[in-house]
Chain A
Amino acid sequence: MIEARGLGKDFGAVRALDGLDLDVGEAEFFGFLGPNGAGKTTTVHILATLLRPTRGSARISGHDVVRGSLAVRKSIGLVFQEPTLDRDLTVEENLRFAARLWDLPGRAARARIDELLRQFGLAERRDSPVRALSGGLRRAADIARGVLHRPRVLFLDEPTAGLDPRARRELWQFIRDLRAASGMTVFLTTHYVEEAEPCDRVAVLDRGHLVAQGTPAELKRAAGAGSLEEVFLARTGRPLAVADAVVAPPGRDR
């Protein structure tokens, strides 16, 4: 589904990402674990055709992210760290706007929007402006927006950032339901080990480099570690949480 070879990105003199090789299979739940600033979002932006790689190449469903960017954008769904909803429009208007952008015909779009609003517990809030929603409902609306066109691959970039524990639990329930119902591939970036644990496979990224890749069990076995936290420590010599604390922007909910 996702295939990257020697992927790299420079921002000026800063090497944000270097020599990344990735293989993510059909229907896989893939975790991309690393501290803030490791290059996770840069990777997602390259795979989503928002940024051009400086080096290397990547393909999604067989389409090159540079040469076949339109075909790639058709097959993927994205939920970014920051919301992409128009706060002045209602939940339903936002979804209708996205449905038009993804070229869903009117009737199919209405049925799909109704279905998602129910599934995400937004049916009663469909006519509320997005600015009036809680953080958790806003994120739910953003995810509904991301899967509106039934993508084959869903990218979730730090989807729980800024959410309280209850909203987090609900969000993971939505993702589980979606995966069970659609069999889509989910590519999750996170800096929380507990979110990476349930993944089928995990890639660990640090300072733009891949330091480990495999199932959580394999990674722990190979590093002789009891948790993914210890895997990160064994591979980089630094604890994930501290690496995170040093680089995390102030005021970010954790």
Chain B
Amino acid sequence: MARAVWGIVAREFVRFLRQRGRLVSSLARPFVWFVFAGAGFRALFAGPPGLDYPRYMAPGLLGMVVLFGAFLAALSTVTDRDAGVLRLLLVAPVPRGAVALGKALGATLLGTVQALAVALILLPAARLSLTPGGAALALAAVVLTSLAAGAVGLVLAATIRSIENFSGVMNFAIFPMLFLCGAFYPMRNLAAPLRALAYLNPIAYGVDLLKHALLAPWSAAGYGGELAVGCDFAALAVFAGLGLAAATPLLAREGGVTRAAFSGERR
């Protein structure tokens, strides 16, 4: 079973390396935000001394990389279904849970690799220095957030019918998750109902952890992490566990075949 899970992860990684466009855009996206949004909002942002807006945004931008990296990787399961690869996974002699785990770990690897690559340039550009403890916390945050986002992405991928729903996914999943994760403003600025909604978003806990790791000097001023570190980790673990548990039976629905293929046979 370990070999099968590894096989699924390795395939995700090879596909990612093959897709140059995806590689370039995923690495460029956070810097576009860093430069353009950073420049524009800098004047509006009244942070504590030593914390300008681009620097404040850095943990959130890493969260964004994880969101696009891991969540979109998990969503690629929709194309696996269309290409017949999902059916191959379902007739392989591995438990359904191992298929979901392999897909989620593939997403974890892609989210983590992309976040680390971006961090290598972004953190020096934002003039953020890391303590060893902060680096370890940031790495753990990136890995666990990727896993949670991957697991939740799998549930969505198993639920939607085809990639044609993709703009709906962008509008109703990715953008709300991006703007309601505390990447661009402190969560305490949100009204209570919106904040409750924001905490249904796994990325919010990951960004909170990254703020703990990267913005510690400004946490006393209210610009660091807002929840306890243990609470963030627990929430991410719950998202990962529930996501995997929910995705496992959903992926096997209809034998991994699109409904169109079935109605073709039934006619």
A37-B265, A78-B91 known; A86 and B3 CB under 8 Å?
no
Given A50-B87, A82-B84, A100-B4, A73 contacting B265 (CB threshold 8 A): no
Cβ contacts A10-29/B at 8 Å (1 or 0 each): 01001010000000000000
Q: A50-B256, A84-B87, A249-B267 are in contact. Are A102 and B92 (CB under 8 A)?
A: yes
A82 to B80 Cα, complex, angstroms: 13
Stretch at the interface among A41-49, A198-206, A211-219: A41-49
Per-position 1/0 for B63-102, Cβ under 8 A of A = 0000000000000000000011101111111110000000
A83 to B257, CA, bound (A): 12
CB neighbors of B among A82-102 (8 A): 82-89, 93, 96-102
Q: Hey, which chain B residues are within 8 Å of A102, CB to CB?
A: 4, 92-93
Q: Which residues of B contact A73 (CB under 8 A)?
A: 91-93
Tell me which of B4, B83, B256, B266 contacts A37 (CB under 8 A). Answer: B266
A249 — which chain B residues lie within 8 A by C-beta? 264, 267
Q: Contact at A36–B267, with CB atoms within 8 Å?
A: yes
Q: Is A70 in the interface zone, CB < 8 Å from B?
A: yes
Interface membership of A51, Cβ < 8 A:
yes
- Determine, out of B11-19, B138-146, B172-180, the stretch whose residues face the partner at the interface: B11-19
B residues near A222, Cβ cutoff 8 Å? none
Q: Which residues of B sit under 8 angstroms from A93, Cβ to Cβ?
A: 11, 14
A88 touching B18, Cβ below 8 Å: yes
| A97-B11, A101-B4 as given contacts; A85 in contact with B93, CB under 8 Å | no
**Does B1 sit at the interface, judged by CB under 8 A?**
yes
Which residues on the A side are within 8 Å of B134 (C-beta)?
none
Given contacts A37-B266, A83-B84, A88-B15, contact A45 B255 (CB under 8 A): yes
Kindly report which residue of chain B lies nearest to residue A12, judged by CB atoms.
Answer: B266
Q: Chain A contacts of B216 at CB under 8 A?
A: none
Can you list, as one digit per residue, whether each of B1-36 has a CB less than 8 Å from chain A (1) or not (0)? 101101110110011001100000000000000000
**Smallest CB gap from B264: residue in A:** A249
A42 touches B265 (CB 8 A): yes
Q: With A and B bound together, what is the CA distance between A78 and B262 in angstroms?
A: 17
Docked complex Cα distance between A82 and B257 (Å): 10
What band does the interface of chain B fall in when counting residues whose beta carbon is under 8 Å from A?
20 to 34
Q: Which residues of the other chain, A, contact B121 by a CB distance below 8 angstroms?
A: none
Q: B261: CB under 8 A from chain A? A: yes
Is A103's CB within 8 Å of the partner chain B? Answer: yes
Bitwise interface map of B from 228 to 267 toward A, beta carbon under 8 Å scored 1, else 0: 0000000000000000000000000011110001101111
**Are A101 and B7 in contact (CB-based, < 8 A)?**
yes
| CB-contact partner of A70 in B10, B88, B95, under 8 A | B95
- Are A84 and B1 closer than 8 Å at their CB atoms? no
Q: Decide if A11 touches B84 in the complex (CB within 8 Å).
A: no
A168 nearest CB across to chain B (Å)? 21
Q: Which single residue of chain A is at the shortest CB-CB distance from B5?
A: A100
**Minimum Cβ distance to chain B for residue A104 (Å):** 8
Is the pair A85, B84 in contact by a Cβ cutoff of 8 Å? yes
Q: Does A247 contact B (CB under 8 A)?
A: yes
CB distance from A42 to the nearest CB of B (A): 7
**What are the residues of chain A within 8 A of B93 when measuring CB–CB?**
70-71, 73-74, 101-103
A80: Cβ under 8 A from any B Cβ: yes
- Tell whether A86 pairs with B256 under 8 Å between CB atoms, given A14-B266, A37-B266, A101-B94: no
Q: Determine if A247 and B256 form an interchain contact, defined as CB atoms under 8 angstroms apart.
A: no
> Which chain B residues border A76 with CB–CB below 8 Å?
91
Partner of A84, one of B10, B84, B265, B267: B84
Rounded to whole Å, the gap between the CB of A141 and the closest CB of chain B is: 12
Of A37, A89, A103, most B-chain CB atoms within 10 Å: A103
Residues of B within 8 A of A11 (CB): 262, 266
Query: Judging by beta carbons under 8 Å apart, are A86 and B265 in contact?
Result: no
Chain A residues near B18 (CB-CB < 8 A): 88-89
**8 closest residue pairs by CB, A with B:** A100-B7, A50-B255, A101-B92, A84-B84, A84-B88, A73-B93, A74-B93, A41-B265
**A76-B91, A82-B84, A88-B15 known, 11 other contacts, Cβ within 8 Å:** A11-B262, A37-B267, A50-B90, A50-B91, A80-B84, A84-B83, A86-B11, A97-B7, A101-B4, A103-B1, A103-B93
26 contacts between A and B (CB under 8 A): A11-B262, A36-B265, A37-B267, A42-B265, A50-B91, A51-B254, A70-B93, A82-B261, A84-B85, A85-B83, A86-B15, A86-B83, A86-B85, A89-B11, A93-B11, A93-B14, A97-B11, A100-B3, A101-B4, A101-B7, A101-B92, A101-B93, A102-B4, A103-B3, A103-B93, A249-B264
